[in-house]
Amino acid sequence: MGFREDFAWGTATSSYQIEGAVKGEGKGEHIWDVYTKEPGHVFEDHTGETACDHYHRYPEDVKIMKEMGLKAYRFSIDWTRVLPDGYGRVNEKGIAFYNALIDELLDNGIEPYITLYHWELPYEIYKQGGWMNPKIVEWFGEYAKLVAERFSDRVTHYFTVNEPQCFVGLGFLRGEHAPGLKSPLRDTFEMAHNVMKAHGQAVRMLRQYGRQPLVIGYAPTCGMVYPETEKPEDIEAARQAMFALQPDNSNWTWNVSWWSDPVLLGHYPEEGLKRYEPYLPKITEEDMKLISEPIDVYGQNIYNGRCVRMGADGKPEDVKRYAGFPKTAINWPVTPEVLYWGPKFLYERYQKPIYITENGISCHDVISLDGKVHDPNRMDFLARYLHELKRAASEIDLRGYFQWSLMDNFEWAEGYAQRFGLVYVDFRNQQRILKDSAYWYRDVIRENGNNL
Ligand code: FCB
C-alpha cells in the first residue's frame, strides 16, 4: 500500500505572495497592500507589489508546473481582485485573469484547487470593522457565490479559509502581520467566531451556486504533536496534547480544536468554553449550525510539531529537543513525524478525507557557479516528511499533498528573505530556475511515491 492512484501531488501558493500587479488592473486594496506601504512592518520594507509577477507570467509558471509533472495546484483568489470593495462591484479584469489561469492549468492536465481567503481582507471591509463586523459573513458569502458562478464549471475543489490561527493570531492579536493590531482577547474571540461563520456561509454559497457537485474543505494549521515512542501511553499523550488549548491566553489562537471542532463536530471544545468564558461573544445554536455546515474534505497545513511522552503524573510532558536539533532557514524545527501522526490524529477525530494543504521548508538557496540551484536540505526534508506521509497514506483516507511552495515568494513579514520554492526566483529579473528539488519532486510524482 502507499499513495492512492489518483493522489493529488501538488504545490501551493497564494495570491499576494506571487501575483504582483497590485495597481492598474482594477484591483481594490486589501490589508496587506496597505500594511506593506508603511515602513517598518516587513523585512527591509519589501512589498508584494511585484512579487513573482505571476499575474503576467502565469503561462510560463504553468509550463514549469507541467515540466514538474504536477497533478494539482492550489492557489488563492485575491478577494479584492474580483470584488474591489469586498462586495458589490465586480472587477471583470480580475475574473478574466483567474479564468485564463484556470484554463491554462486544465489545458496542461493540472487540477486547480482554489483557496478563497489567504489573508487578503479587503481594506474597505476592514474600515468597517473587518472580522468584527457581523456583516462580513454575508460579504464573504457573496464572494463565494461569485467564485462559484464564475469558476465552478471548471474548478471542483475549494478550500474556504487558510490558517485562521495565523491571520487572527498574528494579524489581530500579536500585531506581527497585517493589519498589525494587538486587539483585546474579547475581540479576537469574536473575530474567530465570525471567521468560522463566514466559512460556513461560503460552504453554503459554493454548494448552492456551484455549477456541478463540488468538493469543499477548510485549511487550518497548527503545530502537530507526535509521541516519543509508540507505546500506547505516549501515543495517548500526543493525542491529548494535539487537541489541547494553549496554556497561555496571549497565544490562544494556536490550537487545533478551537478552530476545527466547531466546523467538523458542531461544537466548541468544553474546556475552552469554560476557560475563555469571559471573552466569548454570544454563541447561538443557529451560529453553530452555520459553522458546521458539512464539508467534504479536511485540509491541514503542517510544517512541524513537538514531541511528547506520557508523564508520571498521567499528563503529556514535552520531550526536550537535543542540542543542535535540525532546523530550517526560518528556524522552524525539522520534525518529519508530524506528517504521520498529524493526519492520523486528525482523521481519527474528524473522520474526513485529508489533504495536506501545505508543507515545505525555507533554505538559504543560491544560484551556484554552474548556474543551477542545489538544495540538498530541501530534498532531504521532503524525503523524510513524505516518507512519514506514505505510512499515513496506508492507514487513512489521504487525498493529496501540496508542497509549499511552487516558487520563492513574498513570505509575509519576512519579505523575500525566505525561500520556500521548488523553483528559484531571481527577484532582480524574474528569472525562474528549477532547483534540484523540483526535479526530485517530479520523480516522486512520476513514481506515485513508491520510490520514497
Ligand atoms: C503558512 C502560510 C503560507 C506561507 C507558509 C510558509 O503559514 O499559509 O502563506 O507563508 O506558511
Please give the chain's pLDDT, 452 residues, in tens: 799 999 999 999 999 999 999 999 999 999 999 999 999 999 999 999 999 999 999 999 999 999 999 999 999 999 999 999 999 999 999 999 999 999 999 999 999 999 999 999 999 999 999 999 999 999 999 999 999 999 999 999 999 999 999 999 999 999 999 999 999 999 999 999 999 999 999 999 999 999 999 999 999 999 999 999 999 999 999 999 999 999 999 999 999 999 999 999 999 999 999 999 999 999 999 999 999 999 999 999 999 999 999 999 999 999 999 999 999 999 999 999 999 999 999 999 999 999 999 999 999 999 999 999 999 999 999 999 999 999 999 999 999 999 999 999 999 999 999 999 999 999 999 999 999 999 999 999 999 999 99
Q: Is residue 3 situated within a structural domain?
A: no
Catalytic residues: 163, 358
Distances (CA, A) of 141 to 95, 214, 397: 17, 16, 29
Strand 224-227 relative to strand 305-310, pairing: parallel
The length of the chain in residues reads 452
Q: Is residue 2 situated within a structural domain?
A: no
Q: Is 411 annotated as a binding-site member?
A: yes
Q: Which atom of ligand 1 is nearest to the CA of 362?
A: 6
Of all protein residues, the one whose alpha carbon is nearest to atom 9 of ligand 1 is: 14
- Residue 184 pLDDT: 98
Residue type for position 156 = T
Letter string b/e over residues 177-200, b meaning 16 or more CB atoms within 10 A of that residue's CB = bbbbbebeeebbbbbbbbbbbbbb
Give the count of domains, the chain.
1
**Ligand 1 centroid vs 400 CA: distance in angstroms?**
18
- Residue 300 pLDDT: 98
Mutate to test the pocket of ligand 1, among 411, 414, 416, 418 (most ligand atoms within 8 A of CB): 411
Of all protein residues, the one whose alpha carbon is nearest to atom 2 of ligand 1 is: 163
29-47 per-position pLDDT tens digit: 999 999 999 999 999 999 9
**Ligand 1 centroid vs 302 CA: distance in angstroms?**
10
Q: Is 412 annotated as a binding-site member?
A: yes
Q: Which atom of ligand 1 is nearest to the CA of 162?
A: 8
**Ligand 1 centroid vs 235 CA: distance in angstroms?**
28
Q: Which atom of ligand 1 is nearest to the CA of 163?
A: 8
Of all protein residues, the one whose alpha carbon is nearest to atom 10 of ligand 1 is: 411
Q: How far apart are CA 346 and CA 266, in angstroms?
A: 15
Place of cell 460552504: 203
First to last CA, the chain: 12
Q: Is residue 298 situated within a structural domain?
A: yes
**Cβ neighbours of residue 228 under 8 Å, at least 6 residues apart?**
234, 307, 308, 309, 319
Q: Is 347 annotated as a binding-site member?
A: no
Q: How many helices (H) and strands (E) does the chain have?
A: 16, 13
What is the domain range of residue 298? 8-446
Q: Is residue 293 situated within a structural domain?
A: yes
- Residue 393 pLDDT: 98
Q: Is residue 451 situated within a structural domain?
A: no
**Cβ neighbours of residue 250 under 8 Å, at least 6 residues apart?**
173, 174
Distances (CA, A) of 30 to 93, 122, 130: 17, 4, 11
Residue type for position 413 = A
Of all protein residues, the one whose alpha carbon is nearest to atom 4 of ligand 1 is: 411
Q: Is residue 14 situated within a structural domain?
A: yes
The CATH code of the domain that includes 365 is 3.20.20.80
Q: Which residues pair with 373 in a beta bridge?
A: 435
Q: Is 246 annotated as a binding-site member?
A: no
SS3 per-residue string spanning 419-442: ECCCEEEECCCCEEEEEHHHHHHH
Q: How far apart are CA 175 and CA 347, in angstroms?
A: 33
251-273 per-position pLDDT tens digit: 999 999 999 999 999 999 999 99
Judged on CB neighbours under 10 Å (0-12, 13-18, 19+), 322 is: exposed
- Residue 135 pLDDT: 98
Q: Is 429 annotated as a binding-site member?
A: no
Supply φ then ψ for residue 372, to 5 degrees: -105, 170
Query: Which residues' Cβ are closer than 6 Å to ligand 1?
Result: 14, 17, 162-163, 166, 221, 301, 358, 404, 411-412, 420
**Cis status of the peptide bond prior to 14, with omega within 30 of 0:** no
**Ligand 1 centroid vs 399 CA: distance in angstroms?**
21
**Ligand 1 centroid vs 75 CA: distance in angstroms?**
12
Q: CA Rg, the chain, in Å?
A: 21
- Residue 398 pLDDT: 98
Residue type for position 325 = F
Q: Is residue 1 situated within a structural domain?
A: no
Q: Is residue 182 situated within a structural domain?
A: yes
Q: Which atom of ligand 1 is nearest to the CA of 420?
A: 6
